Structure 1
Amino acid sequence: MRTIYNFLFLLSILCLGLFVLVANTYDSIFVKHFDIQIIKSIQGLEHPFITTVMNFFSFIGDTIQVIIISLIILAILYKVFHQRVELLLFTIVLIGSTALNVLLKDYFQRGRPTFYQMVIEENFSFPSGHSMAALSLYGIIGFLLWRHIPKQSGRIMLIILSAIFIIIIGTSRIYLGVHYPSDIIGAYLISGFWLMFTIWGFINIRENRRLKRKL
């Protein structure tokens, strides 16, 4: 195994550890104060144009839209780049992230913010499903498309666009009043764990198979 792949494993474990820390402290006075201050700062930016932008990014982070985007990406990977094994990785990352979110929400059962909501959500709050889906979806897209982009400038643009979508989708949920910032942070951490661990495992299995074929 190459060092970079082992580094992914270590990063995934770090994300998992930090998620456990956030999950066990979101009811603390410090985190509650942090959440309120960040919410005030973000919602203090309220403006009709910003609200439209935030509603759009929140919309594309909904389950139906994520499924549609995923199907489009799957078709591109298969038809244009002729990737087949990678389709399995893409599917495992997305389905696993969704299942994790459902299980964690049911386990923690954290209520939504109640002091200022632009939209109404009725399920539990921690961790944010939109944020988990965003990091998983755009993270795995970035990983799979990276080697198909020959120019460094194109790769940088891919990373920037992915980061923008991930960050704004998470921020939109705070702006609209349906999540605490700690929900978003927790979502990024647990989704980051799952994404990096799955990629590491996928590469590990593929490299081991290649070594066996050479023997």
Structure 2
Amino acid sequence: MNWTVAIVLVILAIVVVLRLIAWWGWRLVSYLFSRLITVISQVRQRDDITALGAKFEARFPRTAGFLHARLTPDRFTGLPLTLVVIAAFYLAALFGGLVEELFEADELVRFDQWLNQQLAPLRTDGVITLFAWITDLGSSATLVAVALVTTGLLWGRSHGYMIAPLWLTLIGSQITTYTGKYVIARPRPEFITEVVALTPSFPSGHATSAMAVYGFIACILATRVAGIRPRFEIIYWAAVLIALVGFSRMLLSVHYVSDVAAGFLVGGFWLLLGFALAEHRRRLIE
């Protein structure tokens, strides 16, 4: 068995094990979320809570209306949208913290360089060829093509309201990424494979775009299928694809791990904004 086949088998084994763990985690989160909705509904129906709410609404009508609109679990623009917005701003805060660490903490730079060195034994010709193909799945050309095909499918299936959110996700993530690249201007790792790049390193454009576009498509598909298991499969395998694209950038020594992490955060931010806009527009036309 050659080294390339061994690495592929190890990756497949990791993916299978993580799938089992993720499936049980998915079921647990789904159960806890459903219980949360049930508890909220039960609390709202209690007489003492209803009376207290009526008094609060009578005294502070605008505040009560705002809180009800933001926290109701009965429609997407209520509690679900509130959670999405909170998650988006949390990702933005994490990205800001990562940028701060990059400039002020030598530990992050040393860890980036250490991990890049640890990947050196994996950089055989066969592995490089495989991951060079995988990394192309996150290139701008590929993702624009994916977005164009998706646009055609959405238009053909009378889901045109999703087209603008899709392109907002792609274009917004690209603008943010390239702004960050040239503002931060971090040098890339030393190129030790045939894969090279001309732009600065931080954040990873491939990781950003893969998270934004593939993540957006996966979320839209997951909301259109019935059942916990099909939704899990869509989200999980999209996550595997996104993770492989990010890992390929590190293995090919064109990005550090913090570049990829930052790309995932930026892409996740735009993914959540695009998904929220798509769901909001869907509710308007229903």
TM-score category, normalised to shorter length: 0.7 to 0.9
**Is 2:139 the partner of 1:139?**
no
Q: Is the 8 A contact 1:35 1:181 kept in 2?
A: yes
Counterpart selection for 2:162 from 64, 83, 86: 86
Q: Where do residues 107-146 of structure 1 align in structure 2 (5 Å cutoff)? A: 107-114=183-190, 116-146=192-222
Q: Where do residues 20-99 of structure 1 align in structure 2 (5 Å cutoff)? A: 20-27=96-103, 28-79=105-156, 81-99=157-175
How far the C-alpha of 1:115 sits from its partner, in A, is: 6.2
**Is 2:13 the partner of 1:13?**
no
Q: Is the 8 A contact 2:249 2:255 kept in 1?
A: yes
Q: Is the 8 A contact 1:127 1:183 kept in 2?
A: yes
Residues of 2 paired with 1:114 and 1:45: CA distance? Answer: 16
- Paired residue total: 209
Gaps of 5+ in 1: none
Residues of 1 paired with 2:281 and 2:145: CA distance? Answer: 29
Residues of 2 paired with 1:7 and 1:205: CA distance? Answer: 18
Higher helix content, 1 or 2: 2
How far the C-alpha of 1:153 sits from its partner, in A, is: 3.0
Give the stretch that moved more between structures: 148-157 or 172-181: 148-157
Based on CA coordinates, which of the two structures has the bigger radius of gyration? Answer: 2
2:28 equivalent in structure 1 = none
Residues of 1 paired with 2:227 and 2:116: CA distance? Answer: 39
Relative to the length of structure 2, the TM-score reads: 0.67
Q: Against the structure 1 CA distance between its residues 158 and 39, is the aligned structure 2 distance closer, same or farther, given a 3 Å change threshold?
A: same
- Give the secondary structure class of the aligned counterpart of 2:189: coil
Runs of 4+ in 1 over 6 A off after TM superposition: none
Residues of 1 paired with 2:183 and 2:93: CA distance? Answer: 17
Q: Is the 8 A contact 2:132 2:195 kept in 1?
A: no
Give the stretch that moved more between structures: 194-203 or 66-75: 194-203
Residues of 2 paired with 1:201 and 1:149: CA distance? Answer: 19
How far the C-alpha of 1:198 sits from its partner, in A, is: 3.5
How far the C-alpha of 1:150 sits from its partner, in A, is: 3.1
Q: Against the structure 1 CA distance between its residues 71 and 115, is the aligned structure 2 distance closer, same or farther, given a 3 Å change threshold?
A: closer
Give the stretch that moved more between structures: 55-64 or 111-120: 111-120
Residues of 2 paired with 1:205 and 1:60: CA distance? Answer: 29
- Give the secondary structure class of the aligned counterpart of 1:44: helix
How far the C-alpha of 1:126 sits from its partner, in A, is: 0.7
2:179 equivalent in structure 1 = 103
Amino acid at match of 1:177: S
Q: Against the structure 1 CA distance between its residues 107 and 50, is the aligned structure 2 distance closer, same or farther, given a 3 Å change threshold?
A: same
How far the C-alpha of 1:33 sits from its partner, in A, is: 1.7
Percent identity over the alignment?
Answer: 23
Residues of 2 paired with 1:133 and 1:143: CA distance? Answer: 15
How far the C-alpha of 1:151 sits from its partner, in A, is: 4.4
Counterpart selection for 2:233 from 120, 141, 157: 157
2:61 equivalent in structure 1 = none
Tell me: higher relative CO, structure 1 or 2? Use CA pairs within 8 A at least 6 residues apart. Answer: 1
**Is 2:267 the partner of 1:191?**
yes
Q: Is the 8 A contact 1:126 1:183 kept in 2?
A: yes
Residues of 2 paired with 1:69 and 1:204: CA distance? Answer: 23
Superposed CA RMSD in Å reads 2.1
Residues of 2 paired with 1:12 and 1:169: CA distance? Answer: 22
Write out per-residue CA displacement over residues 136-184 of structure 1, whole angstroms, 9 at most, x where no aligned residue.
Answer: 0111101211233234333222112210111011111111111111111
Residues of 2 paired with 1:57 and 1:188: CA distance? Answer: 17
- Give the secondary structure class of the aligned counterpart of 2:267: helix
